[in-house]
Structure 1
Amino acid sequence: MTKVIYSATASLDGFVAGPGGDMRWLTEHLGGENAAADRLLARLGALLVGRVTYDGDDPNAGTDAEGAFGGQYDGPVVVLTHRPPANPPTGVEFATDLVTAVDRARVLAGDGDVNVLGADVAAQCLDAGLLDEVLLFFAPVFLGDGTPVFRRPGGRQVRLERLPGETEHWYRVVR
């Protein structure tokens, strides 16, 4: 069964992007071997991406590693947005509501999983009961401000349980 997984690299103080969506901080922390990321990438059939992330900063812009997963991902992408373009690029679909976006990404994923890119879309998926797993990577840096891994005004606790046999930061969402 296709799983919907939120994966992100965060600073040690819990930010996935710096102030204003800045991703330059991540550049020096990319590269090298990462078995969990390799396992995730091998499972992926589609990406579900928020519009801010889709339009946002790529720490590998202008290099061979530009794009999702350091340029290694080459598959279907569904972008959740209120502003779909008239002529979407090849391989990218746009959806204006969450359920349609998740359903379409699941179909496009086939036997693979859907990876959510974007903290806001991941929070929406959590709120709607559509998120199955969370995989976090941590870079040894404090950003002090920016986009947090998960934010809900007024707070909201989400129970997670570690996936047996996986890296210490790969969890199942407890429903």
Structure 2
Amino acid sequence: MPLQSSPQSNWLRSYYFTRALFSISWIVAAILSGGHTALVSTLLVVYPAWDAVANLIDARANGGLKANPSQTFNVAVSTITTVAVVLAVMRDTYAVLAVFGVWAVFSGALQLSTGVRRWRTYGAQWVMILSGAQSALAGGFMISQSFGAPLPGILDIVPYVGFGAFYFLLSAIWLTVAAYRQAKVVG
């Protein structure tokens, strides 16, 4: 039986709530951006940069980068993606969507791997596993859309970020409820 009230489990709940809040805030900013090029470009660059920083912080809080190879690789992939988005923003929105698609495939696979590894220790990782799988599939869809005729924009990325926010929030709630139930049983 996983330990639901460990310091790491408490960290994970806070981490998931923070990731959900950031994603929701990003979506609101994207919707309200009104297509302002500088703001849209900034949002597009900030999202993978945030993912790199968040994975780095989470890996360090859970034993370090060496103990978390999937997150270590995710930090590298998200950092490279940040640079690629900067370059893509200077080209066109098709390139941006393609970069986000490739990143979604890689980060989804890495999230899936991290969720599987954490399942044994913390439980309640089925949501993160499902999110990782859906991210990889969404990435494939974004890549295919980047070859389409309609000009893509930031709102084409909002559903991807929205599902991420949903899954992070659901994971945080799931772990919170599990800890509450365990505390009632123990107490």
Q: Same fold (TM over 0.5)?
A: no
Higher relative contact order (CA 8 A, sep 6+): 1
Please indicate the TM-score interval, normalised by the length of the shorter structure: under 0.3
Larger Rg: 2
